Amino acid sequence: MTPTLQDSPRQGSYSLGQLGRIFWPYFRPFRRQIIGAVLALVMVAGALLVMGRGLAYLVDEGLSKQDPELLNRAVIATALIALCLAFGSYLRTTLVNQVGEQVLAQIRKALFAHVVGLAPGWFETARTGDILARITTDTAIVQTVMTSTISMAARNLILLVGGLVMLVLSSPKMSLVVLLAVPLVVAPMIVLGRRLRKASRLAQDRLADVSVQAEESVSAMRTVQAFARQGLVRDRFDDAVGGSLDAALARVRLRGLLSGIVIFMVFGGVSAILWVGGQDLLAGKITAGDLSSFVFYAFLVAASTGFLSDLAGELQRAGGAAERIAAMLQADESLPQAAIPRQIDAAHKIACRFEDVSFAYPAATARPAVTNVDFTIGHGERVALVGPSGAGKSTLFHLLLRFYDPGAGRITVGGQDIRDLALDDLRRHIGIVSQDTALFSTSVRDNILFGRPDADGADMVAAAQQAEAHGFITELPQGYDTLVGEKGVRLSGGQRQRLAIARTILRDPGLLLLDEATSALDARSEAAVQAALDNLSRDRTTLVIAHRLATVVRADRILLIDNGRIVATGTHEELIVESPLYRHLADLQFSTPDRQAAPAIEGTG
């Protein structure tokens, strides 16, 4: 079975080092900016750390001795430190945000490029909403952390380490109190941090479920409304939102518990430091400046630790999102490619052959889709596939396009095994018109040019004319520049079919795969589509899933398929006499007096 994003064995098993190796290539081009941001962070942290010693100097030399000149110098020094803080903060914010935005843009591009390169078998079990959530929501979470949280965490980490060093230098005795408090603070951060990361990952998965429900419901909105099932889909969406909310609240509770424990332990430690330092000050062992400096650094350490504990929640949340992104980037479901792929000879007459081919879909390995299929289609020959729904007709199309590799046997196109051909070159020589017409929410022009983007306007118009589409296109409000809406919703079924045919004509393939889709059209639209299909298949090697009597009558041969096997071959007249199954299908579909008008053989399979 093809592993899904949810049940991948690598899912949730990424260590920090593994995530670093996966994402470092996206950071590598911005090494200079990253170094600049680190230097800016060090500048800001260093300025804050120097301020503590300046405070001790101000108290002991300026205020205690009541020297105005020393006070003036201390104020000027403070202003210079503030200027360094401001300049360093500007550099840090600018550089970190620039790097974060550019890196996330590259990751989004890489994610999408990886997804469109995966084999169709991977999409059998992957959920569209979950894929979209990883490309959008998860990357947005990582983006937020990269552009703000990481820099803040790095700054506070530097302040924490620097503050601890300065504490030791200021008073080794009081530093022991700090060292005793550190394990009490770090332990809950480690223990709860791990649980928080798992909870964050679960929250992201449940949020993806919400995206899945929304995407499926909106995509099928006409069906939902036609069946008056708005209440049902609302309930399903509410359940998904409820699951997402429960997971998010569990994450929030863990984050709140972590912050509360850390804040209590940190400020408890500060209180102990103040008590010890106050006793030493009263005993004359340290100066007021030393105590002021120590308290400053203690609060700096406390504040940094508090910030880090709070930021830990965001970092763990980003860690869960990063794991989901990494899982998609690591998904490997591509078809094996030949070491030295061959090209189809453009001058070679395109023919194809199935040689004892057997195949089962990855999601249903126990039930073969086709078994021991063996036939040849000569150049320019028109072969019709006929059979009950689910017989395996569409599977032959999928195998020819090399969406899947057969489990046994081989398929040749142009005399070469398709596994030895470059995948893009193979598909460049094949054109397909399916029942489920796929149009993009762009203009008529863009949808036709999708077949050959480098074609000029004259070729595009000629293709539309051959597809019987030019007439209705010119009547649209903006002609070829008219937007067709999502999935071509602004066009009729026949118009969508003719645009798909025009796109395939423009592609000019040597091998045509045609799944007739005229059963849902009115007589006028069907006649126009049929004329376009006739123009498309003229002088081309054609394999057609037949639904109409006119198609099977004109076919050079008919392959009758049942339960994944070819059970009979011949012309319409021969099969009517020789095959009880074919005769049964013909009787079901052609029994009406007007069957010559627009009969259909059977549904897709």
390-427 confidence digits (pLDDT tens): 888 889 999 998 988 998 999 999 888 999 988 888 88
pLDDT of res. 220 = 67
Mean pLDDT along residues 544-571: 85
pLDDT of res. 601 = 46
Q: If we measure between CA atoms, which residue out of 170, 258, 252, 259 comes closest to residue 203?
A: 252
566 φ/ψ angles, rounded to the nearest 5 degrees? -80, 115
Fold of 16-330: ABC transporter transmembrane region fold (1.20.1560)
Other C-beta atoms within 10 Å of 102: how many? 15
Other C-beta atoms within 10 Å of 143: how many? 20
The Cα–Cα gap between 240 and 211 comes to 9
pLDDT-derived band at 596 (thresholds 50, 70, 90) equals very low
Q: Which residues contact 235 (CB under 8 A, 6 or more apart)?
A: none
pLDDT of res. 79 = 80
Q: Which residue has the higher pLDDT, 147 or 500?
A: 500
pLDDT of res. 376 = 92
pLDDT of res. 603 = 43
* CA angle, residues 358, 360, 362, in degrees to nearest 5: 145
Name the residue type at position 243.
Answer: G
pLDDT of res. 370 = 92
C-alpha distance from residue 327 to each of 7, 23, 115 (Å): 10, 12, 12
Longest dimension (CA), the chain: 120
pLDDT at 355 over 90: yes
Residue percentage of the chain with pLDDT more than 90: 7
pLDDT of res. 90 = 84
pLDDT of res. 8 = 41
Mapped to the 3 state alphabet, what secondary structure does 431-487 carry?
A: EEECCCCCCCCCEHHHHHHCCCCCCCHHHHHHHHHHCCCHHHHHCCCCHHHCECCHH
Tell me the three state secondary structure of residue 360: coil
pTM tops 0.75: no
Helices (H) and strands (E) in the chain, counts: 21, 10
243-252 confidence digits (pLDDT tens): 888 888 888 8
210-242 confidence digits (pLDDT tens): 877 777 777 666 666 666 677 787 888 888 888
The Cα–Cα gap between 205 and 194 comes to 17
pLDDT of res. 593 = 38
pLDDT at 465 over 80: yes
pLDDT at 597 over 60: no
Mean pLDDT along residues 549-574: 87
pLDDT at 551 over 80: no
What's the sign of the alpha-carbon dihedral 293, 294, 295, 301?
Answer: positive
pLDDT-derived band at 595 (thresholds 50, 70, 90) equals very low
104 φ/ψ angles, rounded to the nearest 5 degrees? -65, -35
pLDDT-derived band at 46 (thresholds 50, 70, 90) equals confident
Mean pLDDT along residues 366-374: 90
pLDDT at 37 over 50: yes
C-alpha distance from residue 274 to each of 15, 158, 277, 283 (Å): 40, 23, 5, 14
Residue percentage of the chain with pLDDT more than 70: 85
Mean pLDDT along residues 464-476: 87
pLDDT-derived band at 377 (thresholds 50, 70, 90) equals very high
Mean pLDDT along residues 344-354: 78
Structure tokens at 43: 């500048």
Strands 541-545 and 511-515: parallel
Fold of 438-508: Rossmann fold (3.40.50)
pLDDT at 579 over 80: yes
Say if CB 511 and CB 430 are below 8 A apart.
Answer: yes
Structure tokens at 3: 């592993």
| Alpha-carbon torsion angle 395, 397, 401, 407, nearest 10 | 30
Give the architecture (CATH level 2) of 346-429+510-523+539-605: 3-Layer(aba) Sandwich (3.40)
Mean pLDDT rounded to a whole number for the chain: 79
Scan for tokens 């403070």, then name that residue. Answer: 78
* Equal fold, 16-330 vs 438-508: no
pLDDT of res. 517 = 55
Q: If we measure between CA atoms, which residue out of 61, 52, 263, 45 comes closest to residue 168?
A: 52
The Cα–Cα gap between 432 and 499 comes to 12
Q: Which residue has the higher pLDDT, 585 or 175?
A: 585
C-alpha distance from residue 309 to each of 17, 22, 147, 190 (Å): 21, 26, 18, 10
pLDDT of res. 10 = 39
The Cα–Cα gap between 104 and 144 comes to 10
pLDDT of res. 518 = 53
- Give 262-283 as a DSSP string: HHHHHHHHHHHHHHHHHHHHHT
Domain extent listing, the chain:
16-330, 346-429+510-523+539-605, 438-508
For 486-495, which contacts have Cβ atoms below 8 Å and span 24 or more sequence positions?
486/441, 487/438, 487/439, 487/441, 488/437, 488/439, 488/447, 491/439, 492/525, 493/437, 493/520, 493/521, 493/525, 494/521, 494/522, 494/524, 494/525, 494/526, 494/528, 494/529, 495/469, 495/525
pLDDT at 15 over 90: no
Say if CB 63 and CB 307 are below 8 A apart.
Answer: no
366 φ/ψ angles, rounded to the nearest 5 degrees? -80, -10
Q: H or E element: which one contains 562?
A: strand 557-562
The Cα–Cα gap between 135 and 572 comes to 51
pLDDT of res. 525 = 63
pLDDT of res. 524 = 67
pLDDT at 11 over 60: no
pLDDT at 468 over 90: no
Other C-beta atoms within 10 Å of 345: how many? 11
pLDDT of res. 62 = 60
pLDDT of res. 17 = 73
241-296 confidence digits (pLDDT tens): 888 888 888 888 887 887 778 778 777 777 777 777 777 777 777 777 777 777 77
Tell the burial category of 120 from Cβ atoms under 10 Å away from its Cβ (0-12, 13-18, 19+): middle
Structure tokens at 465: 């004319």
pLDDT-derived band at 599 (thresholds 50, 70, 90) equals very low
